[in-house]
Amino acid sequence: MGSSMRLFRIWGIDVKVHWSFVLILAYGAFLYSGRANPLAGALYGIVVILLLFVCVLLHEFGHALTAKYFKVNVPTITLLPIGGVAQLERMPRQPIQEFLIAIAGPAVNFALTILLLPVALLVVGLGVESGGISSLLRYAQTRMMTPSLDGLLVYLAVTNLALGLFNLLPAFPMDGGRVLRSLLAMAMPYVRATRIAVMVGRLMAVLLAFWGLGGNIMLLLIAFFVYIGGRGELEAVESRYVLKDIRARQALNSETRQLFTSEPIDKAVDLIMTTYQADFPIFDLGSNFVGVLTRPRLISVLRSQGREGRIVDIMIPAQEVPVVGPETTLADVWDRMLDEHSRVVAVMEQGRFLGLLTLDDISELIQVVGAAKEQEDKQARQPSTTPVL
């Protein structure tokens, strides 16, 4: 999503378009250019794609506005060649809320179909001299790929119906997969519901890929997105499950090494080479926390200017470091790191610095505590063998 351009902002949501969107516009122009007037056909193809993505955008706003109703912030909607993505800052805590958010997008497409289809059939019907319903449908199918007003209306009506139905396929993380997960989560733990939904989604991805091998590149892209996206969602859910019961205070390392503003860059290099620590809190001579030096920041400076200079010249100021309280759960700490694109957070209590938490710390905890929880869950699912007397 990093190469996206902002189009506008509405209801507190930034609407962006990915640079690759121009590829689908070019495809639309090519698709309709083989007409008597190639230029007019190409322009018509671009209009068709733009209107189609207006429908996609309305679909995403269906998700976004429903999410905002449940107090879930949606900072951006991004349009891609394979559709759109509404970025929710977090998933709702209740399965019924996730169900309503997921179903809202296809519901918008079905509503557009209901609005467009009667108008499209009326316009098409005026062009049919005689015949019954079968004649009308054949004529509509012919006109759908013909540059014309009635063809455009039929295309948008049929496409919205197809979008609504396709998105309801249980291919997690598509809408249908999220609907499936929310329904399962009403009867079982959220992590297990996610695992089942992801497994079903992967099966759907395989089926979509086989279908796409006939020459449909779009289906191949969607299959890839479903497979990769499902795995990422499962990892995120499992990580939150591992971290939700651990507080920031519990994860602090009492043996963390620290640096001072007056020390040379060489001191940081020496510590990285002789310890396992990669990120360092920085203090002034009055022992006040004033910044952080991360491994990526140090490497960048070493490449650009070498070892000359002091820590104070290259550190990240404390004002730019995310801050959490000691009772914040590590699940929320992790979300904060991802939201602010920071590999560290400072744990503070009433202005007093308690320590640093880093992405390396969180990753290690996910692996260690996750393995322990996985074993506990397996034992909990095993039937008891204690004899009943």
Domain residue spans of the chain: 1-168, 170-243, 248-370
388 pLDDT tier (thresholds 50, 70, 90): very low
In one-letter notation, the amino acid at residue 171 is A
pLDDT of residue 105: 92
**Global pTM value:** 0.68
Question: Does the N-terminal peptide bond of residue 173 adopt cis geometry, omega within 30 degrees of 0?
Answer: yes
Q: What is the pLDDT of residue 308?
A: 80
Contacts of 152 (CB under 8 A, 6+ apart): 47, 48, 51
Check: CB of residue 60 under 8 Å from CB of residue 16: no
Q: DSSP assignment, residue 34?
A: S
pLDDT at 251: 85
Contact between 219 and 266 (Cβ < 8 Å): no
Distance CA 25, CA 22 (A): 5
pLDDT of residue 61: 93
pLDDT of residue 300: 87
Of 19-33, 130-144, 294-308, the poorest mean pLDDT is in 130-144
Among 44-48, 58-62, 108-112, 278-282, which is the least confidently predicted range? Answer: 44-48
pLDDT average, residue stretch 58-87: 86
> What CA–CA distance (Å, rounded) separates 45 from 59?
21
Name the least confident of 33-37, 169-173, 323-327. Answer: 33-37
What average pLDDT does range 39-59 have in this prediction?
A: 85
What is the identity of the amino acid at 54? V
- Euclidean distance between CA atoms 286 and 169, whole angstroms: 61
Q: What was the pLDDT predicted at 240?
A: 76
pLDDT, position 366: 77
Domain 248-370: give its CATH architecture: Roll (3.10)
Angstrom distance (rounded) from CA 312 to CA 283: 9
Measured CA to CA, the distance from residue 169 to residue 190 in angstroms comes to 20
Q: How sure is the predictor about 66, in pLDDT bands with cuts at 50, 70 and 90?
A: very high
Q: Which residue has the higher pLDDT, 190 or 316?
A: 316
Mean pLDDT, rounded, of the chain: 81
| Mean local confidence (pLDDT), 301-322 | 86
CA distance to 271, 326, 329, per residue, from 347 (Å):
22, 6, 11
Least confident of 3-12, 33-42, 110-119, 162-171: 33-42
Measure Cα distances from 42 to 14, 33, 147, 283 in Å.
30, 5, 10, 63
Residue 64 burial by Cβ neighbours in a 10 Å radius (0-12, 13-18, 19+): buried
pLDDT of residue 386: 45
Which residues fall within 8 angstroms of residue 28, CB to CB, at 6 or more apart? 45, 46, 48, 49
385 pLDDT band (50/70/90 cuts)?
Answer: very low
